[in-house]
Amino acid sequence: MKKFITTIAISLFLAFGCTEQMSVNTPVDNSTKKVDWLTINTDHGLSVEGTKTWTKSVNGANGATFSSTKSLCEYTSAYVKIQVPAGAFTGTKTISATLNCETLYADFAPTPMTFNTPVYYTVEYRGVDLSGIDPTNLDFYYIDGYGNMVKATYDEIYVDVANNILGVVNARLPHFSRYGFVN
CA 14 to chain centroid? 38
pLDDT at 112: 87
**What pLDDT digit, counting tens, does each position of 95-144 carry?**
999 998 888 999 999 998 999 999 999 999 999 988 888 899 999 999 99
Pairwise CA distance, residues 109 & 116, whole Å:
16
Q: How far is CA 76 from CA 52, 59, 83, 164, 174, in A?
A: 12, 32, 23, 9, 28
**What pLDDT digit, counting tens, does each position of 39-53 carry?**
876 554 544 558 999
Q: How far is CA 83 from CA 136, 145, 151, 152, in A?
A: 28, 22, 20, 16
SS3 50: helix
